Structure 1
Amino acid sequence: MRNVILAESAGFCYGVERAVELAGKTADETGGCWMLGDLIHNAHVVEELAHRGIRKAEKIDGLTKEDTVVIRSHGELRSVLDELEAKGVRCVNATCPNVVRIQKLVAQAEQEGRRPVIIGEAHHPEVAGIASWCRHPLVFEGPDEVQKWLDADPQNRETPVTVVAQTTCIRSLFESSWKILKKECTNAKIFDTICNATHKRQTEAEEIAAKVDVMVVVGDRKSANTKHLTEICKKRCPRVFQIENADELSPDSFNGCSVAGLTAGASTPAGIIKEVYATMSEEIKAAGGKEESFEELLNQSFKTLNTGEKVTGIVTAITPTEIQVDVGAKQAAYIKLSELTDDPSAKPEDIVKVGDEIETYIVRVNDIEGYAELSKKRLDAVKVWENIEQAVEDKTVLEGTVTEENKGGIVVSVKGVRVFVPASQSGQPRGADLSAMIKQKVQLRITEVNRARRRVVGSIRSVSDEARKAAQEQVWANIEVGKHYTGTVKSMTSYGVFVDIGGVDGMVHISELSWSRIKTPSEVCKVGDTMDVYVISFDPEKHKISLGVKDRSVDPWEVFMDKYSVGDVASVRIVKLMTFGAFAEVVPGVDGLIHISQIADHRIEKPEDVLSEGQVVDAKITAVDEEKKKISLSIRALLAPSDEEDTADEAPVEE
């Protein structure tokens, strides 16, 4: 059997690993740099960093603008960061992204007139750093201090509060604290800021501690998350040792121990964990010191199955209702069809084959009857949650389908997990009908996960905004006068339309929409229309683009000259009425004047007595001024002459 159960999540978390990598990279680039205090809570790692040229400074007095400082993973006081900036010292911020988020939350809370409440250890550098991002923070280590503050002054219950947690806070302490505040305060906002990796590490350590004779926790004694791991393990295991390295272990620690557990804090390097694991295995064997019988060895060759654990086995048989799996245990194991897949029409043989290796979840173990019930479906669900949690840290873009609209937003199904997307993060305009998004496939990022409450929050807008920003940068990087785009009409005004040419809106003036005279853009297009446009001008600083639609390769005057001559009769459209006559469109982009004396075969007071804008009439071309591109038209010339009217031709009149 396995003498030591090693926690899968033991060792460096994402934030610590990122900080160490950033520090090493900075040292390589600069030839040596500084860290303020300990970069992470592990003396062994800090010593190794010193060998790589990363020196430790307790104060910033001696630093100059020639120096480079790496900010530790726990974060730093805002006043210190401001002073470094004032001195011109280059800073490389290795603060854990989870800590940065909490700093922003408390700063925002104070801007909104709310009192920031931090659940954590007041003297821990992470908490001190977070508190420095607001002026009047409240720091409580647990529910007792919360209740004491509430009881101290009745007005405290009326104070709007925003509640956050130290990333390594024990979940039970945080939950009991925020529940009191939620119940007794009239206006409380709660943000679960405990690191997902921390919660996973604590849960796993608790589960292992309940199964072993001795539990070993490895980590620096200054590390808060290591201390919390030890506290959690002591509740489930009577013998718990917190050590910094393998040298602190002894055979006496494992007297009477057959199975020991091992976990490690987030700042413990893999090398130390590996060394402790090997030492523990040897010490347990040495403490046992007895020769085992063949029967004992045979029994130990079988796995011990425990409800709730993962187990990998080989498919040995398939029936219409279940599959049988060899998991290397004394019990016979099987998976019901209902625990294999959610698809009621699926057949077992379509999902797995005899000989396939399959990873499953142990639902129930019956030692009396000698069988174990397994579930692949539940394990898949667990993996999905793990992937969802990892997606928060990695800021992964996921794809899902909108399944419903509910109060305040929409629900997106991501691999079977319900993700709530607030209306403000849906990517739709304020007040839009969100039900229109149902059944649409969307891309989103996960912004918040509370696995205990099965609550997941996501943002579609962050993905669409990022894509739009990238598209905008692409447009501005390649735009040039005369370049053609296929765009979409986004909005309309009385003076023109705005067209999206790939993330950037350009304006087409009404005069550029058509060669013909139009009064409103709606005469030629509508919102949503696809439009071929070209760039007339652009201003990158003001982010303004002027677009055109009219085909400049075609000269309307040449079209007119090719089609008509003096004496020809044309069907024209009245486009403008003046006191001296009417302008009529002969071909798109070319107008002619019908003088008031040439409108009718009798004297009229004003053109609108006979004509109206938009009216189509026949007119004779009586004169063409090619130099000024002016045309004279006559309706009267096509009518029988009247004795009382002057029949003299009129020269073209300027518009």
Structure 2
Amino acid sequence: MYHFVAVTSCQVKGTVFKTDANGALVDISAKSSAYLSVEQACIHRIKHVEEAGIVPGMVEEFVIIGENESDDSLLLSLRMIQYELAWERCRQLQAEDVIVKAKVIGANKGGLVALVEGLRGFVPFSQISSKAAAEELLDKEIPLKFVEVDEEQTKLVLSNRKAVADSQAQLGIGSVVLGVVQSLKPYGAFIDIGGINGLLHVSQISHDRVSDIATVLQPGDTLKVMILSHDRDRGRVSLSTKKLEPTPGDMIRNPKLVFEKAEEMAQTFRQRIAQAEAMARADMLRFQPESGLTLSSEGILGPLGSDLPDDGVDLTVDDVPPAVDL
């Protein structure tokens, strides 16, 4: 147990020359020796300083936080520096409005406690999108967005609901995303796509019939999938690898090829969707002459009879821009 008096903190450079069970001795080129306790060695809880990479010969910047009354040695801290950097990083992430993944380390009657940049953040139950019980989320990583970052009040409030909503908003039909197989069911596989669970139905795995999903996919597998549909109200996302197959059955015979060609195949899918939409608009306008507008062969609305052929709009796949750019 160290009894120390506080001193005005200042930053110094030091070299670790010895470690023991309780911390490390540091040479800071001062008359008195300096000591870094294991509690002050890292923002994370550790049992030995070497867990934080503190070994003899290491040169680092330390903060002097006090003086040991028993032998006048100086007491150092790395934790204080890391703590300040962690708050600065959280403020930056909040300003950038990014989504972070954080591990749930605890829960109380109001919500969950998650570890973000080494700091304990609070996620109110009202800001959790999952219906899972708190104990089911312990030790799991969940997507979060920053709601409040207040170092003076040591308040770090986060939202899982906002993170999931933002992720879902980016799920355009025909877009390709990276996913991890979470579980297999007789009717399909549930895929985690950035904190959102999507269903890859057995009929959407391959053009060839898949009688046993386990012969194609296993929990933990990483794969590319295409967003087939997205019901935001119900929070349901339908996925497909079938639409990404260069030739029918590739997902069964050569999934690596499917993933290599995924973006190319998705581009073709989006072009077909755009073409179908353009044709539908053209048909609608052709049968509604009272609107006074028609769709030209360039896909531009104009006065009736501008340059629309008698037999309708003649568009090829190459003429139609993709609905979504990757």
TM-score bracket, normalised by the shorter chain, equals 0.3 to 0.5
Of structures 1 and 2, the larger Rg is shown by: 1
Q: Give the structure with the higher percent helix.
A: 1
> With structure 1 as the length reference, what TM-score do the two structures score?
0.26
Q: Give the structure with the higher percent strand.
A: 2
